[in-house]
Amino acid sequence: MYLALPALPALLFDIMAKTPWSSLDQPAFIAAFGIGSAAVFIVTLVVRLMQSRHLADASIDGLNAAYPNTGFVGLPLCLLAFGKESLAPAVIATIITVCVLFAVAIVLIELGLQTEKRLSATFGRVGLSLIKNPLLVASIAGALFSGSGMQVPEGGEALLKLLGGAASPCALVALGLFLGPKGEAQSVKTTSALVTLKLFAQPILTWWLAFHLFGLPPLWSKTAVILSALPTGTGPFMLAEFYDCEGGVTSSAILFSTVVSLITVTFCLTVLI
């Protein structure tokens, strides 16, 4: 995990620094991708709470079903499949995922674990977590750099390219380290449901929102669908480990959604390209 820490922030900063602010002003895309993620997250959260799941664990399950690996997999995949024009929607989707959705989950987890009825303390801890989130900091810093009109020096650009290019390989190593030591008995039924929601329900809903309800341009619609069809990222597992929640289902969901997505994402690319 520590190998991957500087890689993705460097990639996000590099992309944001080169992305004009005007290209990020895409309310329809934000709505299509955001509603797709939010709907799956909320449905999973409510169902798990009805099954007497603790709010913290139910929130992580919601992430398992709605948290696509937009950073480590989505950005390079979109670049390869659709070209540089797809990086803007990919960055927007990554910000929605790693910042907004992640923040909502942190708030709910903190609320579930809160022993004292002080909302100010809860939101203070949430705010501190977000401020210390390198993905959020790198994205905002890159956006501010882009808005300033400055150019990244050649030496800095070379360093960003070197670190950013290591994002995907390091993510694979980190994921292997996460999954390797886990020997708990997994709930096949729960894992199957989460993987089904992630790989089928979310992209289908996003497809309808992007192509039919909001009528996005073809490139933006295709990018939204592909990003929503990606397997579960490592974020939910990081939260489960950090808050000492049950990590067995999460690691299983990451593993099996990644394996099955080799088929589902390939199918989506075949249909859309």
Share of the chain above pLDDT 70, in %: 77
Question: Which residues neighbour 179 within 8 Å (Cβ) at sequence distance 6 or greater?
Answer: 251, 254, 255
Q: Provide the pLDDT confidence category of residue 225 given band limits of 50, 70 and 90.
A: very high
CATH of 7-272 given 2.40.50.1020, 3.20.20.70, 3.30.70.1890, 1.20.1530.20:
1.20.1530.20
Q: Provide the pLDDT confidence category of residue 95 given band limits of 50, 70 and 90.
A: confident
Residue 207: its pLDDT value, please?
97
pLDDT, tens only, 172-197: 565 565 555 554 544 788 899 999 99
Residue 260 has pLDDT above 80, yes or no: yes
Span 202-224, average pLDDT? 95
What 3 state SS string does 218-260 have? HHHHHHHHHHHCCCECCHHHHHHHHCCCCCHHHHHHHHHHHHH
Q: Provide the pLDDT confidence category of residue 87 given band limits of 50, 70 and 90.
A: confident
Q: Provide the pLDDT confidence category of residue 159 given band limits of 50, 70 and 90.
A: low
